Amino acid sequence: MPHDELDWTPPPADPERPAQVRRILRLFRPYRARLGLVGLLVAASSLVAVASPFLLREVLDVAIPQGRTGLLSLLALGMIAAAVISSVFGVLQTLISTTVGQRVMHDLRTAVYDRLQSMPLAFFTRTRTGEVQSRIANDIGGMQATVTSTATSLVSNLTSVIATIVAMVALDWRLTAVSLLLLPVFVWIGHRVGGERKKITAQRQTQMASMAAMVTESLSVSGILLGRTMGRADSLTKAFAAESERLVDLEVRTNMAGRWRMSTIGVVMAAMPALIYWAAGLALQMGGPDISLGTLVAFVSLQQGLFRPTVGLLSTGVQMQTSLALFQRIFEYLDLPTEISEPEHPVRLEKIRGDVRFENVSFSYDPTSTALSGIDLDIPAGGSLAVVGPTGSGKSTLSYLLPRLYDVTGGRVLLDGVDVRDLDFDTLARAVGVVSQETYLFHASVADNLRFAKPDATDEEIRAAAEAAQIHDYIAALPEGYDTLVGERGYRFSGGEKQRLAIARTILRDPPVLIMDEATSALDTRTEHAVQQAIDTLSAGRTTITIAHRLSTIRHADQIVVLDKGRIAERGTHRELLADDGHYAALVRRDVHLTAKV
């Protein structure tokens, strides 16, 4: 497929906010039953809370003036019961809503990780590792408050506001009108503040991703080695401090955006009781309708109760607008096109022979250049092919096509007569094993690193694979044996030991087709000899494709092809190509000369 399809750039932001909101709401769809229960609990809690001011009015207007002790006791118990019931409902709704929110975050994390697992190799060669980690950790983590409490807060506050306003109207509609005069202004202010915070949040998350990438690169084992040996530790610290300083500024701006306007709303809402008392007193002096003390106190109590859910609603609106920036960054990853995907009707091979064929294969990283062109190869099951050529000739690119790390842009790659693009991923993973020059080991025990190839492998199978790779004696001599913890990327082991661990891992996987991508090129001659013995054991009886740097390792290959500028320049056996005295012979002479100098 063309490189311009592989070279991913983030899609433009969706200009239609309602579409984004609908997409966010769809994330909660699997949990709608539990959310419905939360809604019932919220509504019940709000109604119970609103009942208290009416009980208070009866206490002040009836029970106390008339000296009705029994009624006073019942009303007091009712007010206590309302508080207890409201608290119990609040705990239950928090438990359910938090659980739902965490499940939604889990779904998002898993979906993003799964999408990234299906991305082509080109995506990861162009994306900083820290950027990927930041999307999963920081962006989804930043949504926690939104997905765990926003739905509950929205329903709770909205229900409380509606119930409180209805109760206020029931007490006195004139005082209610005075109380709600400024509500539209408050809503407008909240909307403006949310828009400001959304813009700043997008900048903040980008800055956090940049910092995560810097930490990942500079504080890895390789980064530490490079920084110290180059004497750049101080400059790296200064660069990190500059990035952190920019983040400080964005964090302050995020928290302070609209803070004065929101505090103004708080001041006005807090001053409303004084306005209510003033309005009621003025009405009485002007001969207006009589308002009982109980009604006035109950109304002020309701009005004060209206303050919390109203501010809560405004804050929820601000938080939702801010979170749209985070959701947009996550949706960008979820919307990444999956260039390499399993076919709609995949072919599954139960028994794999290992016949490999390249038919007029071509591949391009970009429209302006061709990495491979007109490649025709036939490797029968159990046969061996060696691919040699100068740097940049397309050797490694050729090896990427069989396991579908890239897809061809022309021609076909066949496994047992089936185009690899038609095979299911499981068949392809079982069929092809890769041992590359750069061995990757997890920060786990030796046994766990080997079991990555075969999770259900027994201790005996692991030992047999290590023995075949000529690494068992070394592992057994370690203080903790196979339970020894491997350092990051295997830095507790030498290059040769890591390669033999990789070979043992591949032996455990037991693939019928093996790709050796310059597996010994970075090793010294003595270590190379030990590793080559392990490779010979691994290669026995398998279809083997060897990308060779040192030609001494491929003399006995069934066929050797020489790549030059993405095309096959020569092919034949070692003897035939030497006799032709062409590209291969020149490479052999160079190899012999370099070996003699060493």
Q: What is the DSSP string of 143-170?
A: THHIIIIIHHHHHHHHHHHHHHHHHHHH
The residue among 323 and 452 whose pLDDT is bigger is: 452
pLDDT at 420 exceeding the cut of 80: yes
Task: Fill in the amino acid letter for 285.
Answer: Q
370, containing H or E segment: none
23, containing H or E segment: helix 17-27
Whole-model pTM: value is 0.65
Pairing of strands 372-379, 513-517: unpaired
Tokens (6 digits) for 305: 């109760």
Give the pLDDT score at 356: 94
- Split at pLDDT 50, 70, 90, the class of 230 is low
Task: Fill in the amino acid letter for 514.
Answer: L
User: What average pLDDT does range 558-579 have in this prediction?
Assistant: 91
Q: How far apart are CA 400 and CA 392, in angstroms?
A: 14
Residue 276: count other Cβ atoms within 10 Å of its Cβ. Answer: 20
How many CA atoms lie less than 13 Å away from 83 in the CB half-sphere? 7
Q: Give per-residue pLDDT as tens, 63-85.
A: 888 888 888 888 888 888 888 88
How many CA atoms lie less than 13 Å away from 73 in the CB half-sphere? 3
**Three-state secondary-structure class, residue 564:** strand
Give the pLDDT score at 228: 61
Give the pLDDT score at 594: 46
Q: Give per-residue pLDDT as tens, 571-581.
A: 999 899 889 88
Q: How far apart are CA 192 and CA 321, in angstroms?
A: 10
pLDDT at 13 exceeding the cut of 60: no
Give the pLDDT score at 8: 38
484, containing H or E segment: none
Q: How far apart are CA 458 and CA 451, in angstroms?
A: 9
Give the pLDDT score at 281: 72
Tell which residue, 427, 368, 430, 361, has the closest CA to residue 397: 361
Mean pLDDT, the chain, rounded, equals: 77
CATH of domain 356-597: 3.40.50.300
pLDDT at 5 exceeding the cut of 50: no
User: What average pLDDT does range 436-446 have in this prediction?
Assistant: 80
Q: Which CATH superfamily is domain 17-334 in?
A: ABC transporter type 1, transmembrane domain (1.20.1560.10)
pLDDT at 543 exceeding the cut of 70: yes
Q: How far apart are CA 520 and CA 273, in angstroms?
A: 82
Give the pLDDT score at 192: 66
Q: How far apart are CA 222 and CA 225, in angstroms?
A: 5
**What is 227-258 written as a DSSP string?**
HHHTT-HHHHHHHHHHHHHHHHHHHHHHHHTT
pLDDT at 567 exceeding the cut of 80: yes
Q: How far apart are CA 466 and CA 372, in angstroms?
A: 37
Q: Give per-residue pLDDT as tens, 111-140.
A: 888 888 777 777 777 777 667 777 777 777
CB of 396 within 8 A of CB of 546? no
Tell which residue, 116, 206, 118, 103, has the closest CA to residue 151: 103
- Split at pLDDT 50, 70, 90, the class of 227 is low
Of 74-83, 240-249, 444-453, which gets the smallest average pLDDT? 240-249
- Split at pLDDT 50, 70, 90, the class of 379 is very high
The residue among 193 and 251 whose pLDDT is bigger is: 251
Give the pLDDT score at 38: 81
pLDDT at 391 exceeding the cut of 70: yes
CB of 205 within 8 A of CB of 142? yes
* Most distant CA pair in the chain, distance: 122
CB of 320 within 8 A of CB of 194? yes
Structural domain boundaries in the chain: 17-334, 356-597
Give the pLDDT score at 350: 87
Q: Where are the alpha helices (DSSP H) in 339-414?
A: 395-401
Tokens (6 digits) for 68: 């009705």
CB of 171 within 8 A of CB of 301? no
- Split at pLDDT 50, 70, 90, the class of 141 is confident
CB of 27 within 8 A of CB of 112? no
- Split at pLDDT 50, 70, 90, the class of 443 is confident
User: What average pLDDT does range 6-28 have in this prediction?
Assistant: 61
**332 CB-near residues (< 8 Å, 6+ apart):** 10, 11
Of 143-152, 168-177, 209-218, 470-479, which gets the smallest average pLDDT? 143-152
